[in-house]
Amino acid sequence: MADLGEPPDWLRRSLGIEPEQRTVQVDGCEINLLVWGEPGKPGIVLVHGGAAHARWWSPIAPLIGDYRVVALDLSGHGDSGRRPEYEVGSWANEVLAAGESVEADGPPVVVGHSMGGFVAVATAVAGGDRVAGTIVLDSPMVEDDPEVEAARIGAAFGVPKRYPSMDVAISRFRTVPAQDHYDPFILDYVSRHSLRQVGDEWEWKFDPMLFKAISRNAAAEQLPKIGTRVALLRSEFGLVTPEIGQIIYDNLGRVAPVVELPLSGHHMMLDQPLILLTALRALLADWEHSVPVRR
């Protein structure tokens, strides 16, 4: 494997802040949590996309600000337990439990990427005043997320594969959808934490049945039901086109911001993490002292 050299100082410092690891039981399934920040601070829950895991957030989670930040592995992902089948309602319960188990001050803001955006919306609708705000990251809402479509057509997530070494597995790591640019240090970090050892071999952590068994609510139909503050951050080179962004804006009552993240692909935390971090900080700072416009 090629030597990547030294990561930039900001990333080295951020990844050096190791989170507290804990678990919470939700409907008989053990859910893995990573927690940053001091108890008693306002809460933020970070929700990854399909086949991803909590450590996709590690480069930026410690830098969001003076918050109690928790990233969870949804069931069927990362180091969490598996279920016989998966559906958005169960994942929403996991997000609510994560936010309420980490000693935060009040209900959390929920941030969801891609498939996690579907989950964040469902959490806001089901949770009501147990959620303080919802930030959706490049989740198309009006159509299936790319992981589900890739599984449906057989382009990814088929027969589970095992590899003779971690380095071989890392060389096969791919995102769905692919994009033109990744930060090499973050991609290496994320891919290493995507694997588990089984005997002398390595395999991806996510449940291979995840996308075959999944059942979703129609996210677009849920959007008008959200009672919290809400915002959409879409990537310039992502899945949420300006046209889809307009549809989502209309469904949110034309009062929620839809903001483009310049230079970003769909997986913005893997290629433009500081742009994403700046956008999140700006939204959260505004929400701390402003009054939302009611639909």
**8 Å CB contact between 53 and 73:** yes
The answer to whether residue 177 sits within a structural domain is no
Q: Residue 15's domain is classified under what CATH number?
A: 3.40.50.1820
120-166: per-residue pLDDT in tens? 999 999 999 999 999 999 998 876 665 555 555 454 555 678 999 99
Helix, strand or coil for residue 43? strand
Burial class (CB in 10 A: 0-12, 13-18, 19+), 193: middle
The answer to whether residue 203 sits within a structural domain is no
The answer to whether residue 3 sits within a structural domain is no
Strands 229-237 and 133-137: parallel
**pTM higher than the cut 0.75:** yes
The answer to whether residue 182 sits within a structural domain is no
What is the extent of the structural domain holding 49?
9-144+212-285
**8 Å CB contact between 280 and 254:** no
Give the chain's count of helices (H) and strands (E).
Answer: 11, 11
Q: How many domains does the chain have?
A: 1
The answer to whether residue 195 sits within a structural domain is no
258-291: per-residue pLDDT in tens? 999 999 999 999 999 999 999 999 999 999 988 7
Burial class (CB in 10 A: 0-12, 13-18, 19+), 253: middle
The answer to whether residue 181 sits within a structural domain is no
- pLDDT for 155 equals 45
The answer to whether residue 45 sits within a structural domain is yes
The answer to whether residue 63 sits within a structural domain is yes
DSSP classification of residue 71:
E
- How far from 217 is each of 13, 64, 112, 223, 238, CA to CA, in Å? 39, 30, 16, 11, 22
pLDDT at 241 over 70: yes
